[in-house]
Amino acid sequence: MKIGVIHKYRKHLPVTDKTPVITLQEGSTPLLRVENIEKEFNFPFQLYLKYEGVNPTGSFKDRGMTVAISKAVEKGCEYVICASTGNTSASAAAYASKAKLKALVVIPEGSIALGKLSQAMIHGAKVVAIKGNFDDALKIVREICEKYPVELVNSLNPNRIEGQKTAAFEIVDALGRAPDFHAMPVGNAGNITAYWKGYKEYCAIRPVMMGFQAAKSAPIVEGHPIKKPETIATAIRIGNPASWKKAEAARDESGGLIDKVTDDEILSAYKALAELEGIFVEPASASTLAGLIKYNKKSYFKKATKETIVVGVLTGHGLKDPDRAIKSCFQPEIVEATTAKVCRAFDL
Ligand code: AN7
């Protein structure tokens, strides 16, 4: 049954009987075994993908937003605010409307996928686009929060991390143990922080954490902020992650790594998921598979067997960014409206 992450994992979350639960029944997402991908890329391990794109607003952000918005209502807030590469704003706008709060959203102009922008708008958020990037937007909303009584719902808000850690709980509940390796995209680094917190709270034997940034937006890999981050994976086009140190802690405590994957690697993983497994994700999510392919080629998994379990997180739905899908494929042929012409186009 879908009940939402607060009800499901109440005792692990910062809620009491007095907390009003604002939920859209997020969580309980599929954990899909992807054997076609395992075969195609000669993975020596079992690969499961946590498909977070089927959350109510199409991304993992809903797990954190249900807690952040519920706590905002409990505190008596009227306004919530976020900077966003798109998914946070979509989720904040939806949960705020359910809670009758007003949502304020600051986005980098021109680099938000269309689906995400449409969500923030249709849920009635007040959206301002800045002539700058996500890092500039986050700085601005932090300054606004210091001056005005508005609640920040970016992942700097600890309630977001609390909610998002429930995805690790679900993985452990589904597998009966933690995976051996856990791979995921890294942008502002809240989600890797949340997963690692979740694993630490839930089990003694924990996975090796593998985080992947986009090559030209890889501050943690390069060791310094990136002034002008670029990537087609606009969700993770972030040059100065807020949870930088916590992501490094997750990496180091787990004996893991944070590395980068190129846009070409991301796009080829994006197409492989869609063509081989019927899973449509947004480009940022495909960096998970791109990273696993890269590391398998480097023989990183040489000790793995079919007993080894790797879990990868697919953070957002492909419909978020339909432009990218269309650009990545052959365009439909346009023919006259006769059966003969259609058959010819199909080579029948
Ligand atoms: C699909 O919406 O930062 O490392 O403002 O949308 O926790 O930032 C989105 C991030 C991965 C990276 N995949 O997660 C935002 C935002 C998708 C995302 C990430 C994001 P974090």
pLDDT attached to residue 336: 98
Write out pLDDT tens, residues 131-164: 999 999 999 999 999 999 999 999 999 999 999 9
Looking at residue 93, its amino acid is A
Does the structure show a pLDDT above 60 at 225?
Answer: yes
Cβ 59 under 6 angstroms from ligand 1: yes
Write out pLDDT tens, residues 107-137: 999 999 999 999 999 999 999 999 999 999 9
What is the distance in A from the centroid of ligand 1 to the CA of 347?
42
Write out pLDDT tens, residues 76-100: 999 999 999 999 999 999 999 999 9
SS (H, E, C) 218-287: CHHHHCCCCCCCCCCCHHHCCCCCCCHHHHHHHHHHCCCEEEEECHHHHHHHHHHHHHHHCCCECHHHHH
* Residue 281 alpha carbon, nearest atom of ligand 1: 1
pLDDT attached to residue 321: 97
pLDDT attached to residue 39: 98
Does the structure show a pLDDT above 80 at 47?
Answer: yes
Please report which confidence band the pLDDT of residue 1 belongs to, taking 50, 70 and 90 as the band edges.
low
Cβ 219 under 6 angstroms from ligand 1: no
Tokens of 263: 């846009």
pLDDT attached to residue 97: 98
Q: What is the mean pLDDT of residues 297-306?
A: 97
* Residue 154 alpha carbon, nearest atom of ligand 1: 5
Instruction: Please state, in angstroms and rounded to a whole number, the distance separating the CA atoms of residues 50 and 53.
Output: 9
Write out pLDDT tens, residues 15-33: 999 999 999 999 999 999 9
Cβ 282 under 6 angstroms from ligand 1: yes
Cβ 284 under 6 angstroms from ligand 1: yes
Q: In testing the pocket of ligand 1, which one of 236, 270, 287, 324 has its CB within 8 Å of the most ligand atoms?
A: 236
pLDDT attached to residue 264: 98
* Residue 87 alpha carbon, nearest atom of ligand 1: 2
Please report which confidence band the pLDDT of residue 2 belongs to, taking 50, 70 and 90 as the band edges.
low
255 Rama sector, left if φ>0, alpha if ψ -120 to 50, beta otherwise: left
Q: In testing the pocket of ligand 1, which one of 160, 186, 191 has its CB within 8 Å of the most ligand atoms?
A: 191
Please report which confidence band the pLDDT of residue 243 belongs to, taking 50, 70 and 90 as the band edges.
very high
* Protein residue with its CA nearest to atom 18 in ligand 1: 235
The overall average pLDDT reported for the chain is 98
Cβ 57 under 6 angstroms from ligand 1: no
Instruction: Please state, in angstroms and rounded to a whole number, the distance separating the CA atoms of residues 268 and 286.
Output: 8
Tokens of 186: 């890294």
* Residue 134 alpha carbon, nearest atom of ligand 1: 5
Looking at residue 257, its amino acid is L
* Protein residue with its CA nearest to atom 1 in ligand 1: 316
pLDDT > 90: percent of the chain? 99
Does this model's pTM top 0.85? My answer is yes
Cβ 235 under 6 angstroms from ligand 1: yes
pLDDT attached to residue 35: 98
Cβ 111 under 6 angstroms from ligand 1: no
What is the distance in A from the centroid of ligand 1 to the CA of 17?
31
What is the distance in A from the centroid of ligand 1 to the CA of 147?
26
Q: What is the mean pLDDT of residues 167-192?
A: 98
Write out pLDDT tens, residues 55-80: 999 999 999 999 999 999 999 999 99
